[in-house]
């Protein structure tokens, strides 16, 4: 086998990592090296770009330790039977790359995953060793996200949480039977067990009742990723799985990744990728569950798919017109969050302003976006929608018009 130089390895293994979407860096604890000690910081303006809740751009070196893999997951371009260029980093090479890119101000942290080499335990040992070397040898204080190998021993999973800001364990597919069909070496029960172990570690580190506080454990929590469109799961089934994961394992994020057809794949898989807008609608519905107080069953039934033409909150409002119009001057925050076109920040601004004056339609226009979308669903000091809310053609009036794409 030809010996690859570092640049070629980086090209192969950064490209192979692009299929993993779960690399946001929000929620970590704050660390820096302003005292002259250590290297790096989890703060500041930042390769791979993720965004924190306050809008900061976080740049991460996103790579695989190796794209060799002993598993043969049908949907994965790095499966053992795939004819793809292979490469592998040594632990020291990843450490040197991370420190070198950080000192050149290219990145603020590391997202590290890997194919399975030799065994899950061996692979997890190598991933942990990278993080441990960065933290203990180089006093690196930047952000680290490690991908956990579910089949690895609990001791190694626990060690990963001690060195990483966030860990992620991919659930892979929405239905357990799909995972058994397309990735027979992976075990849904083992994945859930590993998620449970991480949850216990995170909660133990936050338990104020413990007098001798344990060390911080994955302070940014854990996340997961589901592939959308590889099997026949409906959007309702996908969101049902997300609802369960959020409740049972206290995940920070579920990431949705549209299936991408790969060369020489099995005939069991679709030949075309799902429309990217489907992935977008799933994220919107996920946001409604996490930040807007919606239950999954309110948004979509288990056997249904989301409407691709309009966003899920507007779809809900059109089905539940009896909930509207909402008076923006008296409604509580929970009701305002259900108004199509009003986001969390807009609602909080409206509530602040109405303490000092009666809100008019012009006030709502200045504090939000898309007034025409809002008008059928709100009452202000100078506006009532009247029969507009119940019009049969309301969807056509406020839905985005079809747009002709252009090649130029």
Helix (H) and strand (E) counts in the chain: 15, 9
* Helix or strand run (H / E) with residue 92: helix 91-103
DSSP states along 222-285? EEEEEEESSS---HHHHHHHHHHHHHHH--SEEEEEE----TT--TTS-SSPPPHHHHHHHHHH
**Residue 27: per-residue pLDDT:** 44
The pLDDT value given to residue 386 = 93
Say how far apart CA 161 and CA 215 lie, in whole Å. 10
Query: Whose CA is closest to 156, among 136, 127, 133?
Result: 127
Question: What was the pLDDT predicted at 5?
Answer: 87
Mean pLDDT by 10 residues, the chain (408 residues): 79 86 51 49 49 65 94 90 91 96 91 94 97 96 93 94 94 93 92 94 79 73 93 96 96 92 76 90 97 96 95 96 96 97 95 95 91 94 94 88 60
CA atoms within 13 A on the CB side of 228: 27
CB 235 within 8 A of CB 185: no
Question: How many CB atoms sit inside 10 A of residue 84's CB?
Answer: 14
Which token pair is 334? 């929970």
198-211 as b/e: b if 16+ CB within 10 A: bbebbeebeeeeee
């Amino acid at each position: 086998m030809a010996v690859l130089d570092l640049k070629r390895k980086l090209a192969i293994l950064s490209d192979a990592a692009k299929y993993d979407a779960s690399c946001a860096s929000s929620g970590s604890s704050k660390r820096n090296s302003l005292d002259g000690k250590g290297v790096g910081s989890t703060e500041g303006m930042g390769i791979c770009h993720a965004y924190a809740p306050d809008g900061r751009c976080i740049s991460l070196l996103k790579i695989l330790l190796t794209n060799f893999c002993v598993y043969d997951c049908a949907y994965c371009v790095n499966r053992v039977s795939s004819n793809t260029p292979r490469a592998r980093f040594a632990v020291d090479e990843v450490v040197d790359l991370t420190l070198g890119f950080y000192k050149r101000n290219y990145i603020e942290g590391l997202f590290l995953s890997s194919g399975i080499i030799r065994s899950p335990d061996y692979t997890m040992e190598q991933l942990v060793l990278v993080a441990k070397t960065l933290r203990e040898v180089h006093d690196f204080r930047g952000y680290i996200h490690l991908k956990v190998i579910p089949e690895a021993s609990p001791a190694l999973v626990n060690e990963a949480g001690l060195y990483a800001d966030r860990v992620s364990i991919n659930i892979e597919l929405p239905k357990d039977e799909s995972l058994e069909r397309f990735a027979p070496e992976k075990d849904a029960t083992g994945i859930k067990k590993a998620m449970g172990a991480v949850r216990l570690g995170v909660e133990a580190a936050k338990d104020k009742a413990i007098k001798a506080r344990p060390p911080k454990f994955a302070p940014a929590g854990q996340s997961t990723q589901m592939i959308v469109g590889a099997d026949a799961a409906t959007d309702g089934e996908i969101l049902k799985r997300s609802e369960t994961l959020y409740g049972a394992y206290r995940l920070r994020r579920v990431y949705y990744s549209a299936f991408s057809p790969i060369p020489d794949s099995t005939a069991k898989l679709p030949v075309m990728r799902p429309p990217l807008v489907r992935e977008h609608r799933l994220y919107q519905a996920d946001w409604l569950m996490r930040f807007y107080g919606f239950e999954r069953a309110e948004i979509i039934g288990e056997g249904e798919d989301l409407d691709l033409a309009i966003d899920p909150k507007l779809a809900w409002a059109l089905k539940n017109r009896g909930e509207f119009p909402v008076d923006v001057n008296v409604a509580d925050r929970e009701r305002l969050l259900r108004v199509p076109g009003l986001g969390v920040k807009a609602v909080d601004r409206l509530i602040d302003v109405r303490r000092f004056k009666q809100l008019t339609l012009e006030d709502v226009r200045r504090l939000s976006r898309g007034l025409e979308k809002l008008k059928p669903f709100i009452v202000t000091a100078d506006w009532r929608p009247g029969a507009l809310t119940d019009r049969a053609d309301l969807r056509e009036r406020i839905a985005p018009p079809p747009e002709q794409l252009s090649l130029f």
